[in-house]
């Protein structure tokens, strides 16, 4: 009987449990740098950041993420230098975290150089976008494939596998960005993130940890 129980239980332990935190449940989150309002838009039940200076963060409490998949829907706007929207992960404190974010105003920009700066990886405190662009041009930012409507919702799938970070948009099988993680952190909190001058809307956050 003991052997039979082990045979039944062990396979189920190979699968990690998916977590879908309610974005509207304020008890699950810590807010910094912004105000947020709850929204229901185009069938999406989520939150919207106010526009302000500096970064804004809606940080998930009491949940530590290491490797796996993070998916969410996000909406910015097609206004130059006014839409920096994405997600922070392996968050340690307000100045130490990794993030992937988008610049919707560059999605379909007629300037090809700007289009190649549509999605960005950063690692704070040592590697902000300007340092990465100057020292490693084109390595940590890229165009987005397929090109979303810059004023509409789009879907993001972020895979983190140890040092590998891969970003997919709108269920494409072609990555929009694939980079090596720059920080040494192996786990931390997850937060919805906007940067200087940006508002932004988020919905349908789904976190699937890698099976151990």
Give the whole-angstrom CA distance, residue 24 versus residue 26.
6
**pLDDT number for residue 2:** 42
**pLDDT number for residue 111:** 96
**pLDDT number for residue 212:** 74
Q: Residue 130: phi, psi to the nearest 5?
A: -65, -40
**pLDDT number for residue 70:** 98
Residue 122 contacts residue 99 (beta carbons within 8 Å): yes
State the DSSP code for 134.
Answer: H
Residue 169 contacts residue 148 (beta carbons within 8 Å): yes
Extended strands (E) in the chain: 29-32, 36-41, 44-49, 56-60, 68-75, 85-93, 96-102, 119-124, 141-142, 153-161, 164-169, 177-180, 189-194, 200-209
Per-run averaged pLDDT (10 residues), the chain, 212 residues: 37 66 97 97 95 97 97 98 98 97 97 97 98 98 98 98 97 98 97 98 98 80
Residue extents of the structural domains in the chain? 18-209
Q: In the chain, what's the furthest Cα-to-Cα distance?
A: 68
**pLDDT number for residue 167:** 98
Give the whole-angstrom CA distance, residue 42 versus residue 104.
19
Residue 54: CB atoms within 10 Å: 12
Containing 154, the helix (H) or strand (E) segment is strand 153-161
Q: Does domain 18-209 fall into CATH 2.60.120.560?
A: yes
Q: Whole-model pTM?
A: 0.91
Residue 142 contacts residue 119 (beta carbons within 8 Å): yes
Secondary structure (3-state) at 8: helix
Residue 115 contacts residue 152 (beta carbons within 8 Å): no
């Amino acid at each position: 009987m003991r052997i039979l129980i082990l045979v039944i239980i062990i396979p189920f332990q190979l699968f990690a449990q998916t977590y879908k935190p309610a974005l509207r449940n304020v008890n699950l989150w810590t807010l910094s740098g912004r105000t947020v309002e709850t929204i229901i838009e185009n069938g999406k039940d989520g939150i919207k950041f106010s526009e302000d200076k500096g970064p804004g963060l809606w940080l998930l409490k009491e949940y530590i993420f290491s490797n796996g998949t993070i998916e969410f829907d996000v909406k910015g706007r097609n206004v130059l230098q006014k839409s920096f929207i994405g997600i922070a992960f392996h968050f340690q404190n307000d100045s130490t975290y990794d993030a992937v974010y988008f610049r919707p105003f560059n999605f379909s920009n007629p300037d090809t150089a700007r289009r190649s700066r549509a999605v960005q990886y950063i690692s704070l405190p040592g590697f902000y976008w300007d340092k990465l662009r100057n020292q490693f041009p084109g390595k940590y930012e890229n165009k987005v494939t397929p090109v979303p409507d810059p004023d509409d919702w789009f879907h993001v799938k972020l895979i983190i596998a140890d040092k590998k970070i891969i970003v997919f948009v709108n269920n494409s099988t072609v990555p929009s960005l694939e980079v090596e993680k720059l920080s040494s952190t192996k786990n931390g909190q997850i937060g919805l993130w906007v940067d200087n001058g940006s508002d932004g809307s988020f919905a349908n956050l789904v976190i699937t940890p890698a099976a151990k």
